[in-house]
Structure 1
Amino acid sequence: MSQKPINFRHLSTLVAVAILVGTELVGASWAAGWALGGLFQLDPLVSRAFEAIFALAGFVGLYFFMRTAVKNEPIRG
């Protein structure tokens, strides 16, 4: 059973999209956690927890985005 060769054009596109969308999505969600902590004048520890939760949500969103991107632009083939 032979595998198809790697399409480096698709691979480079997916890497570029992961960097661009990942930076935007994780950065914006992290900033939202920071902003909510400051807006409600929360304790710094609680504010950091908000940042971590929102950043985790950003990473989950990036995972689902990349999963869909790889389905639409496969690396092999």
Structure 2
Amino acid sequence: MSKKPLNLVHLSTLVAVAILVGTELVATSWAAGWALGGLFQLDPAVSRIFEIVFALAGLVGLYFFMRTAVRHEPIR
């Protein structure tokens, strides 16, 4: 049973979207954590925790976005 070959056009589109959307989501999430830490004048350690939590939320958002994108733009 042979697998269908990769559709390189769809694959390159998905890689480009992952880079673009991933950069936007993670950077925006990280900046939100930094801004909240500064706004509430939190301790630097607490501010870093906010940044990490928000960045992880951005990565989770990217995962769900890419999962949906692969469904609509199959690579095989």
Q: Shorter-chain TM-score: what band?
A: over 0.9
Separation of aligned partners in 2, 1:75 and 1:32: 34
Give the structure 2 partner of residue 66 of structure 1: 66
Give the structure 1 partner of residue 34 of structure 2: 34
Counterpart of 2:46 in 1: which secondary structure? helix
C-alpha RMSD of matched pairs (Å): 0.3
TM-score normalised to the size of structure 2?
0.99
Structure 2: unaligned runs, 5 residues or longer: none
Structure 1: unaligned runs, 5 residues or longer: none
**Structure 1 stretches of at least 4 aligned residues deviating more than 6 Å after TM superposition:** none
Separation of aligned partners in 2, 1:40 and 1:2: 58
TM-score normalised to the size of structure 1?
0.98
Identity of paired residues, percent? Answer: 83
Separation of aligned partners in 1, 2:75 and 2:45: 42
Give the structure 1 partner of residue 53 of structure 2: 53
